[in-house]
A and B are shown apart, each in its own frame.
Chain A
């Protein structure tokens, strides 16, 4: 049993913030689906519900155990530990990519003279402090910040409305359904599939039976807000700018101009995007630390955090050579890579559990 608990609302808030931190990059799927980028996102949200349903089924196998515990019980110790190591590696790569992306955003848009490494050190220091303080603190701070993030993105979406050009999403389905499905697949790997590590937090929830439901609701709320904002981006900027700009969500906010009085709204937008992005990174890092603690049977997670931060700094420096490489990676290798980890793994886990007749009350029988 976990020593501390987070409420289901806090669990939902963490999911919402992670989704907001990851999905505000419509350029990736708009590059594939062109003016149907919004449709690709919509299809991605609907298909993503299937992935989330699978996650909730896995969470309901035994809400007292997290994903790593379940893998150990259902697959057996040697296979369970091997799969756990792969999972930890994948999470570590994901947090490194996110640190690189955030540092690149800050150095290209806000602080161009500052070395990327300096931004990375500061960012990783905050992440490490957060992880050392524990999940309870992370969740409580998220609960304070979430109304501002939610309110800001709705307000920004409404304020860019005067610049909307409906012809930017016309004609609909000009290139057929294939690019839409391809775009939707990329969207799923960025949004729904990246929520797999929340299965590690299920045992910490106060109402574990409803954790699966909370996962689906929070993801749906986050994805809907992301869809609304990304649709506004596409309608304002058009296909070319949305798919070629480095940060289209940031660029669209620069267009806000209410009577020459309310302008330069993008700095606030950057702040809220950084907050959401920070939560995505901290949960990834927490999953890495939690995984290592379980696999090495440590009592405390804190001795691991500081050296892990140093390794993370070095990995974040070398993980991506350029933004072009990142976009190419997201469109090609990342899709099968994430699908194996976030769809095939839980599916196999669920099928093996059912075939072996696993029940929450019968853990020892399978060990």
Chain B
């Protein structure tokens, strides 16, 4: 729970630091990517406290196991 709060504070601090970029009308693409990354970071960071998010490495492991099983066939 503490880390969820830390993540929200950090996200607000990031918005404050980048407010110049966020109010620049010529940086629409940058703003969209910035917001998407920030929101996904906050959601993942808060969710991590409540549910077990599988590590991305498990995806690599399962791909490798599938290939090995296919080779053995």
B23 within 8 A of A: no
Stretch at the interface among A31-39, A143-151, A298-306: A298-306
A296 touches B33 (CB 8 A): yes
**B7, B27, B31, B37: residue with the most chain A Cβ atoms closer than 10 Å:** B37
Instruction: Scan residues 20-73 of chain B and give those whose CB is less than 8 A from a CB of chain A.
Output: 21, 27, 29-31, 33-34, 37-38, 40-42, 44-45, 48, 53-57, 60-61, 64, 67
Instruction: Scan residues 297-321 of chain A and give those whose CB is less than 8 A from a CB of chain B.
Output: 297-298, 300, 302-304, 306-311, 313-315, 317-321
B34 touches A332 (CB 8 A): no
B57 touches A307 (CB 8 A): no
A159 within 8 A of B: no
A329 within 8 A of B: yes
Known: A304-B34, A306-B18. A314 touches B48 (CB 8 A): yes
A318 touches B17 (CB 8 A): no
A311 touches B37 (CB 8 A): yes
A-B CB pair tally, cutoff 8 Å: 84
How many chain A residues touch the partner (CB < 8 A)?
A: 31
CA distance A93 to B55 in the complex (A): 10
- Find chain B residues with CB under 8 A from A321 CB: 55
A113 within 8 A of B: no
Q: Which single residue of chain A is at the shortest CB-CB distance from B40?
A: A311
CA distance A302 to B55 in the complex (A): 28
A306 touches B14 (CB 8 A): yes
Q: Which single residue of chain B is at the shortest CB-CB distance from A336?
A: B64
A333 within 8 A of B: yes
Q: Which of A300, A317, A325, A332 contacts B48 (CB 8 A)?
A: A317
Q: 13 interchain pairs (CB within 8 A)?
A: A292-B33, A303-B33, A304-B30, A307-B38, A307-B41, A309-B14, A310-B14, A310-B38, A311-B41, A313-B45, A318-B55, A333-B57, A333-B60
Interface residues of B (CB under 8 A from A): 3, 6-7, 10-11, 14, 17-18, 21, 27, 29-31, 33-34, 37-38, 40-42, 44-45, 48, 53-57, 60-61, 64, 67
Interface residues of A (CB under 8 A from B): 93, 117, 121, 292, 296-298, 300, 302-304, 306-311, 313-315, 317-321, 325, 329, 332-333, 336-337
> Which 9 A-B residue pairings sit nearest by Cβ, starting from the closest?
A310-B41, A307-B37, A307-B38, A311-B41, A306-B14, A303-B30, A314-B44, A314-B45, A333-B61
